[in-house]
Amino acid sequence: MGWPGCVAHADAHAATGSWFNGEVKRSSRHLQAAALTAFASAAACSHPSPAPAPSPAAPPASAAPTSPSDTILFRKPSRFGEVFVVQNGPQRCLTLDTPKDIQSCIVPAEPGKVVHEYVRYLTAGILVAPDAPRTLMIGLGGGSVVGIMRSAAPGIRFDIVEINDAVVEAARRWFGITECESLHVHVGDGRAFVEGAHGAWDMIVLDAFSSEGIPPHLGTEEFLRAIRGRTSPDGAVVANLWNTDPVLYKNMLRTYREVFPATYVFEGRESGNVIVISLQGELDGGCTTIRARARDARWSARLSFDLGAVAAVCTPIAAVDLAGSRVLRDAEWKGMGDGGVR
């Protein structure tokens, strides 16, 4: 079945890049059941979950399963590479370029299940913007980030920006994505959308990856300043970065610090993903306040994972060694052909 209600995901799909390449403590059984129930009723505008998709017709030889347990449900070329939806047992994943380049996964039979660590870490955004009624997400995928955030904070309304229309098609056909009054999907470049927008969002989530990394134009000082201008005074910017290239990683953090001095870093323990949360002004108590908020009983009642374990790795950016790093600017990617500017 698909995600209950009207949900979408902003995790991993945007224009390709060049110099941005980079590659629970469990609650009680009662609380886990409550979390799944909350997830199932999280959407503000619900609709019947789509029935399980029928087995596809025999695929062409070029779309043969990648292992005995894999079934390719969807495959479509786009100007950003091929988009796949692959079923592996109970798990359904959206991939780019190859069936093995996983971007996003869900378990349709367990809507509250979190497959990837970075989804748990992105959810920390609700600790600094718990009442963010208007949220912008750049990227679209299998529904996990938005679904989990809605389970924790059901009143959130989303604008989702996705550059790849094939990803949008896959999400609608195979992940139960639907639009409604509280969720709108916009096909286009995330930066162009931000720069042409009016007003502000309470939370902006930057979770745009291609198979080659973060698009260059979504990581520069100029872009982050545009993002800051579209964030409400008490709002937050939550970004998914990658730390497998140490030099580039430090440069990205340095760029965030240049634009948002009040930034907190959450380094993943299971992957190379790093979540940074940036604010317009300093948060009283910093990471101590974030950890205290994570102990709120409502999170353990609504989520199937321990948000306190995420908050435990919070580090103020001032405590991160950024010696030798530099700010990333537009001049570094302009003139590089279509290097991510789609």
Chain center to CA of 135: 12
Which two tokens mark 164?
A: 């790849």
What is residue 17's DSSP assignment? -
Q: Which of 159, 202, 207, 306 is labelled catalytic?
A: 207
Active site (annotated) includes residue 296: no
In this structure, what is the dihedral angle of CA atoms 123, 39, 140, 308, given to the nearest 10 degrees?
10
The phi and psi torsions of 190 (rounded to 5 degrees) equal -60, -40
191, containing H or E segment: helix 190-195
* Long-range contacts of 154-158, Cβ-Cβ distance < 8 Å, separation of 24 or more: 154/38, 154/41, 154/42, 154/43, 154/44, 155/44, 155/131, 156/132, 156/182, 156/203, 157/44, 157/133, 157/181, 157/182, 157/183, 158/8, 158/182, 158/183, 158/184
Q: In this structure, are strands 314-316 and 183-187 parallel, antiparallel, or unpaired?
A: unpaired
CB atoms within 10 A of CB 264: 27
Chain center to CA of 230: 18
Which two tokens mark 116?
A: 């990837």
For residue 30, give every residue at least 6 positions away whose Cβ sits within 8 Å of its Cβ, in sequence order, or none: none
Written as one string, the DSSP assignment of 26-67 is PPPHHHHHHHHHHHHT--SS--PPPPPPPPPPPPPGGG--SS
Written as one string, the DSSP assignment of 69-84 is TEEEEEEE--BTB-EE
Give catalytic residue positions.
207
